[in-house]
Amino acid sequence: MNIIETYIKGLLIIEPRIFSDDRGYFYESYNKSKFTEAGIPVDFIQDNQSFSHKGAVRGLHGQANPFAQGKLVRVISGRALDVALDIRKDSPTFGKHFSVELSGDNKLQLWIPAGFLHGFSTLEDNTIFTYKVNNYYDKASEIGVLWNDPALGIDWGVAPEDALLSPKDEILPDFKSFTSPF
């Protein structure tokens, strides 16, 4: 397992070591001791999975304390552009985002600690996205920002008129109106 630091402190790309042969492949998607060695001491308590059609945009979402979540995300099949937005007020990268393509082919994962909003857009039909989280979901703790806020400059790889959104995601505040709890 190779852990790659991004330009945003705490946000890490996890590149698994893949063992392939004539039967297919095998890889270890999570190893607690390797994560702890890399400075990610996390206890996952819930796994979530979504299925999306091409052009779906989910995000930008998060949860405030005491239900803030760290997430380990990956795509099982299909392709998604994954986006994490730093909302830690004291961070030098506050308001900056990082994006990476996750796919069933590249098998990359992204570790997103608490203090970030998260979202993704699906680049193929039948995309299965999975999240390991270290805290339970709490509806009253939901926070978020409008996915296509021009002030953020996020290229989702999906034309705005083609984006498939939930009603909740269409009415999130812009970043200027958002007050970070971190």
User: Quick one: CA torsion of 104, 58, 32, 43, rounded to 10 degrees?
Assistant: -160
Per-domain residue ranges of the chain: 2-177
For residue 41, what pLDDT is reported? Answer: 85
Task: Cite the active site residues.
Answer: 61, 131
- CB within 8 A of 62, min separation 6: which ones? 68, 69, 87, 116, 117, 118, 142, 143, 144
Give the C-alpha separation, 79 to 37, whole Å: 29
Q: Is 2.60.120.10 the CATH classification of the domain at 2-177?
A: yes
For residue 142, what pLDDT is reported? Answer: 97
Give the C-alpha separation, 160 to 158, whole Å: 6
pLDDT < 70: residue spans in the chain: none
Burial 41-75 (b: 16+ CB within 10 A, else e): ebebeeeeeeebebbbbbbbbbbbeebbbbbbbbb
For 83-127, write each residue's pLDDT tens digit. Answer: 999 999 999 999 999 999 999 999 999 999 999 999 999 999 999
